């Protein structure tokens, strides 16, 4: 890959990740929020940004990070994603425990919360699957992990788009679309379902 192309790819990724964060940081809504709530909100923004980075790492699409090396970084970023989700939920719990309990019990009146809790459990499930990868075997693990990740990205995107908060409408929509497209591409390119289809055939 040409140096100019590599630079453009990294620049595009940097903009896709940092612009939504910068827009959120400049939101006037932050003036009325507690520090803990702000930290929780930004943890959610970071988590959404990492959902774009993860498939690019897994697929080896980033210059300087071929598939094998990219997947090693993918595991580290995955741990960061889990941490970001925990901080996001913990911060919201500190500011309003009853609301978080309602969300976890799927009785919250706000639709975006329901999508968010599905995404949260999906992230934890994907992390757990990574821990038991050797026990499951490559075929079963890849199908299970891919399925869960697809759900996480889709539900996280809906969760983010439905929230009327600090993230800019355009920037967060672009970020969500890019995460969905990147995840779809890596699923297709890695042919995660080919073993299942062969087995059924």
Q: What is the CA radius of gyration of the chain?
A: 18
**pLDDT for position 28:** 86
Q: Are 146 and 192 in contact (CB under 8 A)?
A: yes
**pLDDT for position 76:** 95
The pTM score is 0.89
Burial of 166 (0-12, 13-18, 19+ CB in 10 A): buried
Query: Nearest-5° angle of CA 110, CA 112, CA 118?
Result: 115
Q: Are 37 and 165 in contact (CB under 8 A)?
A: no
**pLDDT for position 201:** 44
Number of C-beta neighbours around residue 5 at 10 A? 10
The domain locations on the chain are: 3-200
What are the DSSP calls for 119-168, one per residue? HHHHHHHHHHHHHTHHHH-HHHHHHHHHHHHHHHHHHHHHHHHH--SSS-
**pLDDT for position 200:** 46
Residue-by-residue pLDDT tens, the chain, 201 positions = 677 889 999 999 999 999 999 999 998 888 888 899 999 999 999 999 999 999 999 988 999 887 788 888 999 999 999 999 999 999 999 999 999 999 999 888 888 999 999 999 999 999 999 999 889 888 888 889 999 999 999 999 999 999 987 888 999 999 999 999 999 999 888 765 554 445 444
Token pair of 54, please? 């993860």
Q: Are 167 and 44 in contact (CB under 8 A)?
A: no
Residues in the chain: 201
């Amino acid at each position: 890959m040409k140096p100019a192309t590599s630079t453009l790819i990294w620049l595009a990724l940097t903009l896709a990740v940092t612009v939504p964060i910068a827009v959120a940081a400049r939101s006037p809504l932050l003036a009325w929020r507690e520090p803990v709530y702000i930290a929780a909100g930004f943890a959610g923004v970071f988590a959404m940004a990492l959902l774009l980075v993860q498939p690019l790492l897994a697929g080896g699409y980033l210059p300087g990070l071929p598939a094998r090396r990219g997947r090693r970084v993918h595991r580290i970023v995955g741990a960061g994603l889990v941490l970001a989700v925990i901080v996001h939920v913990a911060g919201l719990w500190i500011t309003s425990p009853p609301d978080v309990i309602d969300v976890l019990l799927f009785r919250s009146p706000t639709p975006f919360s329901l999508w968010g809790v599905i995404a949260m459990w999906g992230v934890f499930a994907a992390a757990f699957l990574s821990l038991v990868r050797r026990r499951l075997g490559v075929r079963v693990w890849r199908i299970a992990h891919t399925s869960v990740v697809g759900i996480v990205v889709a539900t996280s995107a809906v969760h983010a788009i439905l929230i009327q908060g600090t993230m800019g409408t355009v920037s967060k929509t672009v970020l969500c679309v890019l995460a969905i497209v990147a995840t779809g591409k890596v699923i297709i390119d890695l042919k995660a379902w080919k073993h299942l289809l062969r087995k059924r055939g």
